[in-house]
Structure 1
Amino acid sequence: MSLRLMATIAASALFLSGKTNHAPICELTPPAGSFEEESAVAARKHAQILTKVHGAYDNPYLSSYVTRVGERVAKASRMPD
């Protein structure tokens, strides 16, 4: 899983969790360590998020926006690739 995808997932989770008065969609965890471990954690969180929100939201405009935000976050991080 690429960093871009993980950043997109994180941005989506933040976006979705901020729009409701309900419990968070998923619990945030501290970094797991290696890139491979982080990828595994991201995949599990992605599955949890999709389960709680009843599937992916299919909106090309929103997807493009979230991708751009994720790319900006990734570029500003210590692992921009």
Structure 2
Amino acid sequence: MVRLISADIRSFLECELHLDRVNRIHKWLWRVSLPASPHLLHVQRLKKREIAVAEQLDLHLVWSPSCIFIKPLP
């Protein structure tokens, strides 16, 4: 989703760094996987995963068998 942000830095950062969806499901994430460090990007490519740029922070380092989402720094 693209949002127009005024010159207000605080509004920009709140929009870029919101994690409301992750906070709502945080208590259930242990059922999906144990916490672990992500593999390096070249290892992701060796695993035949597409590296996709994500605009939403809550998608950062979410992966499927064929794709991993990376949120670049704003």
Question: TM-score, normalized by length of structure 1?
Answer: 0.24
Higher relative contact order (CA 8 A, sep 6+): 1
More helix by share: 1
Q: Which has the larger radius of gyration?
A: 2
More strand by share: 2
